[in-house]
Amino acid sequence: MAESTLPKTYDFKATEERVYAWWEEQGFFRPSNDPRKPGFDEAKKPFVISIPPPNVTGELHLGHAMFVAMEDLMIRYNRMKGVPTLWVPGTDHAGIATQLKVEEDILRTEEVTRDELGRDDFLKRTWSWKDKYHGIISKQIRRLGASCDWSRERFTLDEGLSKAVREAFVRLYRKGLIYRGPRLINWSPRLRTAVSDLEVEYSEEEGQLYFFKYRIKDSSEFIPVATTRPETILGDTAVAVHPKDERYKKYIGATALVPILDREIPVIGDEYVDREFGTGALKITPGHDPNDYQIGARHKLPIISVLDQAAQIRAEGGPYAGMDRFEARKTLWADMQAAGLSIKTERYMQRVPRSQRGGEIVEPMISTQWFVTIKPLAEPALAAVDSGRIKIVPEHFTKVYRNWMENIQDWCISRQLWWGHRIPVWYAPDGSMFCAYDEEEARAEAKRTLGKEVELTQDPDVLDTWFSSGLWPFSTLGWPEQTEDLKYFYPTSVLETGYDILFFWVARMIMMGLEFTGELPFHTVYLHGLVRDEQGRKMSKTIGNVIDPLEVMDKYGTDALRFTLLVGSTPGQDVNLSLEKVAANRNFANKLWNAGRYVIGALAAAPKEKTGDLNWTLADAWVWARVKQLTASSNRLFENSQYGEAGRQIYEFFWNDFADWYIEIAKLQLAEGGDRAFKTADLLVRVLDLSLRLLHPFTPFVTEELWTRLKEAALDHSANINPEKNASWPEALIIARWPEPIAQEGWEDFNLRNFAILQNLVRAIRNLRAEKGIKPGQRIIAHLVSQECYNLLEQEKAALTALAQLDPAQLTISKTLKERPENTIPLVSGPVEVYFPLSGLTDPVEERARLERELKEASAQIQRLETLLATDFANKAPAAVVLKEQTRLQGFQSAASSLEEQLKAIGD
RNA sequence: GGGCGAGUAGCUCAGUUGGUUAGAGCGCUUCCCUUACAAGGAAGAAGUCGUAGGUUCGAGUCCUAUCUCGCCCACCA
């Protein structure tokens, strides 16, 4: 064997950067069929993914690693199949998140607020922040091996996408699907902006339930009422009771007095009130509670806003004006206690609405905002999934999607932020508004409508980030322009992302895609699970269990991280990432490396040409049958989006079959020299090559590196390495390039079965050696007896002696046992009996026990199988399944009878 | 309140048209630095697949009920 110059340990650090640069340099990430290039063929159907654009707020986390691994796998798989493939990269401006970060940053470093800085300056700072973090994140995405076409990279606030956003807004507006008006919305006092329902998260927190008296005017009577937010009492405009409530119905129509303020409000009857809960009477604050808002609307109650944008009490709150909401709560309650209006407080678990971004408690407030009328968009989007035109993987998310779509509410799209797409609406001094693509157009329209030139001011608000995200699959391809890219690459193929943004993003893309392009933006939605820590907890800075993917890659390599994420998960199911698993997969990469190293060395040492044609050995045929089986099942699994299972099977084949068995036998075959060595080297190369191809979508770096080296090694050799530049997927390759040299029907099964017999025999002998404490290097004498497998054993003598460490000089193989040798240890492995003349090691008592144990096991199996075969199983199960069981039964029967004989022979 | 998912070896998890004796990694026991790999090799121990029924020749896999945990949606003051 030639000395290999490659290091014993795979150096992923040295490989990754170089290989990625090489890919980019070669243009591997560009679509093979590109409308921008000569020779474009529009008939070829492409495979397209739009990246879920990472926010420009921060750095890489495992969620990014997950989607890059998944999408890169899909992209590479399709690219290898020869499909023109495009993966569009890009980043998201992430309105609230980014603005918050920048605000914090300037406050910390320059001690100025955004208001002090002013809108223009603030935006300047934000753009430079964006430039910095965009650079970081896109470098990190590359580090993960993402094979996206960087020449087509987009940003949600770039010129083209901003144009798309304006176009979308104007179209919806003109269609009457966008309206503006005062509504009860979720208000984030710290960010001082509206947020959508989806951006509110509820947390279980212990609070107090305050019981107090609602006095009836001109009476000493009162209605007891409970609330969790006493400060909202200041905005009450009614007290509601159930119309059939015997306790309170007499008060309906009466006038109640708001505590402390003594404002007069009506007592009303409404079925919404739950008689069982609290006191059975409800205070109504239409200005600060969604349910009260609806009740208020039913009863035409006035709406009082008691909180301002910073959640401080407004003038309507009388003596409490100017107080913070929580301060007002305390003060008001104390005053009520003093006035004898309080009854009691109880500890109470409630769900507190908090802002997804800022984390502070959001307040329902009346505010003038922009909304999208969503029903007309949601209906076709729901139908698309229901009819199966869009397939969601895993399927059960279809129900989740439907559930949400059926109950969808109008979407509040305006945000009182600076960082984002400004709403394309201008106001005239008289208040009339003009929605247009730009100011010029708005001015013209204003002139037409108002009959004169007027000064216009643009709406100060920006759009919800998700509004632009909803356009992503087509805006990134040039929409609203009918670009070549849009025509060819749209609709995209698969949308891959985490299930946590199914509503935020996926649903909106489907709605907007249908609305604006008339087509579904993709045909498949693949939802991956969330990456959690080892114990299944969400990663969070406060728990301190955040795993940094960069550190993981530094320590174990990108391939190991990717393989762990891909193989450790199943669609839609959260994956608990443990570093131990990553380490195990780093070991796998190293295993690949060393197997590759061995094969390359073997190739170098083997003859360069063959002199004639040789038959395949059992091991050759077996490994080839296995690799074919593996290719077929990988194909099937890839087509069904079961990538994890495919990865597992490839891993097992490579390690347990190829490395542990075939390479070991190949060593013997190579040692024979001549054509046998030529052929073995050839097959080693082929199987390694195919394995690398199957693994490439999972672990692109190590496979690319090995493949390159393998090609180099094969240059002066007539072995069959594919000389094409790009690695293609094995499915077609096996058939086209490497036709099978074995012509007989059923050769795969035949060889798989025979090899299994050989493996079992070797294992049984090794087991016996271990039990008897025979030294690993010590060759032992064995007599093999088998009627059925005589030829097989004879033929595989060499492999057998080497693998089981038998003494070749004293090995005998016979069809029948003429005379049982003295002082032997017998062993039965399926159809083969083995006798070891190891008199020094025989202990008749021990032997008897062992044989009896084996016989007992065999008898149990015979019993089980006989029973099974006596049932309807024999008639109803498929013939192949029945045959299998019958064969097994025969095996156990022959084993049992020879065990019995041996027991007899051993005597007492 | 509605919906969804999970419960398989000590731990973390695979297991998709129902079909051998249910698998992997880590951990554990014994042996081995054998010329691809000690990030390795060989042998081994370890599970009544949450529980109870049902369908079927056959159920971890399908159906029903039930328990436990988790998530999402709706938000009863």
Structure tokens at A890: 């025969």
Q: Could you tell me the pTM of the whole model?
A: 0.93
Check if residue A447 sits with its Cβ under 7 angstroms from strand B.
no
Residue A643: half-sphere exposure toward Cβ, Cα within 13 Å:
30
Pick the residue with more confidence: A807 or A891?
A807
- Band of pLDDT at residue A437, cut at 50, 70 and 90: very high
- In the structure, what pLDDT confidence band is assigned to residue A623 with cuts at 50, 70 and 90? very high
> How far apart, in whole angstroms, are the C-alpha atoms of residue A275 and residue A241?
8
Task: Say how far A70 CA is from B36 C1', in Å.
Answer: 31
**pLDDT at residue A568 greater than cutoff 70:** yes
Tell me the mean pLDDT in the region A191-207: 87
% of chain A beyond a pLDDT of 90: 54
- Whether the CB-CB separation of A238 and A266 falls below 8 Å is answered with yes
Q: How confident is the model at residue A725 (pLDDT cuts 50, 70, 90)?
A: low
**Residue A243 in 3-state DSSP?**
coil
Q: Round and report the angstrom distance from CA (A551) to C1' (B46).
A: 35
Is A594's CB less than 7 Å from nucleic acid strand B?
yes
Mean pLDDT for the stretch of residues A558-579: 89
Please give the pLDDT value at position A602: 92
A825 SS3 class = strand
Model pLDDT for residues A112-165, shown as the tens digit of each residue = 888 898 999 999 999 999 999 999 999 999 999 999 999 999 999 999 999 999
Which pLDDT score is estimated for A739? 54
Tell whether the model's pLDDT for residue A866 goes beyond 60: yes
Phi-psi region of A355 (alpha: psi -120 to 50; beta: other; left: phi over 0): beta
Tens digit of pLDDT for each residue in A664-691?
A: 999 999 999 899 999 899 899 989 999 9
Chain B: nucleotides below 7 Å from protein CB are 2-6, 12-16, 19-21, 24-26, 30-32, 34-44, 56-58, 72-77
Measured in degrees and rounded to the nearest 5, phi and psi for residue A341 equal -95, -15
**Nucleic acid strand B within 7 Å of A331 CB:** no
* Amino acid at position A618, single letter: L
pLDDT of residue A737: 54
Q: Give me the sign of the Cα torsion angle A401, A403, A405, A409.
A: negative
Helix (H) or strand (E) holding A19: helix A12-26
Q: Is A169 helix (H, G, I), strand (E, B) or coil?
A: helix
- pLDDT of amino acid A825: 79
Q: Is the CB of A787 under 7 A from strand B?
A: no
Instruction: Spell out which residues of A between 215 and 234 contact strand B, using CB within 7 Å.
Output: 225-229
User: Are the beta carbons of A388 and A204 closer than 8 angstroms?
Assistant: no
pLDDT at res. A824: 78
pLDDT single digits (tens) A503-514: 999 999 999 999
Q: Is the model's pLDDT at A69 over the cut of 50?
A: yes
Q: Which helix (H) or strand (E) holds A761?
A: helix A747-772
A887 closest-nt by C1' vs CA: B20
Q: Give the pair of three-digit tokens for residue A810.
A: 């004293």
Tell me what pLDDT residue A373 has.
Answer: 93
A740 CA – B4 C1', rounded, Å? 49
CA–C1' span, A573 to B73, in Å?
19
Among the listed residues A429, A488, A408, the one whose alpha carbon sits nearest the alpha carbon of residue A197 = A408
Q: Is the CB of A815 under 7 A from strand B?
A: no
Judge whether residue A717 has pLDDT over 80: no
Does residue A85 carry a pLDDT above 70?
A: yes
The reply to whether the CB atom of residue A13 sits less than 7 A from any atom in nucleic acid chain B is no
Q: Which nucleotide is nearest to A229 (CA to C1')?
A: B77
Residue A1 pLDDT: 39
The nt closest to A232 (CA vs C1′) is: B77
Q: Which residues of A325-353 are buried (b: 16+ CB within 10 A; e: fewer)?
A: beebbebbbeebeeeebbbebeeeeeeeb
E strands within A755-803? Answer: 783-785
Instruction: Please state whether A886 falls in left (phi above 0), alpha (psi between -120 and 50) or beta.
Output: alpha
Selection from A862, A851, A834, A821 nearest residue A760 by Cα: A834
- At residue A859, the pLDDT reads 84
Q: Strand B: which of residues 159-218 in chain A lie with Cβ below 7 A?
A: 197-198, 201-202, 209
A250 contact to strand B (CB, 7 A limit): no
Structure confidence at residue A65 (pLDDT):
93
Q: Is strand B within 7 Å of residue A406 (CB)? A: no
pLDDT tens per residue across span A386-412: 888 999 988 888 888 988 898 888 999
pLDDT at A840 over 80: no
CB proximity A573–strand B (7 Å threshold): yes
Residue type, position A721, single letter = I
Share of residues in chain A with pLDDT > 70 (%): 96
Q: Cα–chain-centroid distance for residue A44?
A: 29
Q: Which helix (H) or strand (E) holds A511?
A: helix A508-517
Nucleotide nearest to A652 (CA to C1'): B24
Q: Is the CB of A890 under 7 A from strand B?
A: no
- What's residue A742's pLDDT? 63
Nearest nt to A210, CA vs C1'?
Answer: B77
Q: Which of A330-334, A457-461, A544-548 has the lowest mean pLDDT?
A: A544-548
Distance CA A689, CA A592 (A): 11
Averaged pLDDT of chain A: 89
Distance CA A511, CA A100 (A): 29
Contacting residues 631-670/A vs strand B (CB within 7 A):
640, 642, 644-645, 648, 651-652, 655, 659-660, 663-664, 667
Whether the pLDDT of residue A744 is over 80: the answer is no
- The lowest-confidence range among A269-278, A363-372, A571-580, A898-907 is A898-907
Distance CA A172, CA A262 (A): 47
Query: DSSP labels for A68-101?
Result: HHHHHHHHHHHHHTT--EEEE-EEB--HHHHHHH
Residue A838 binned pLDDT confidence (cut-offs 50, 70, 90): low
A37, exposed or middle or buried, with CB in 10 Å at 0-12, 13-18, 19+?
A: exposed
Q: Is the pLDDT of residue A732 over 60?
A: no
- Rounded Cα–Cα distance for residues A362 and A753 (Å): 68
A584 touches strand B (CB under 7 A): yes
pLDDT at A817 over 50: yes
SS3 helix, strand, coil % of chain A, rounded to 5?
A: 50, 15, 35
Q: A2: pLDDT confidence band, cut at 50, 70 and 90?
A: very low
CB A390: neighbour CB atoms within 10 A?
Answer: 22
Average pLDDT over residues A421-436: 94
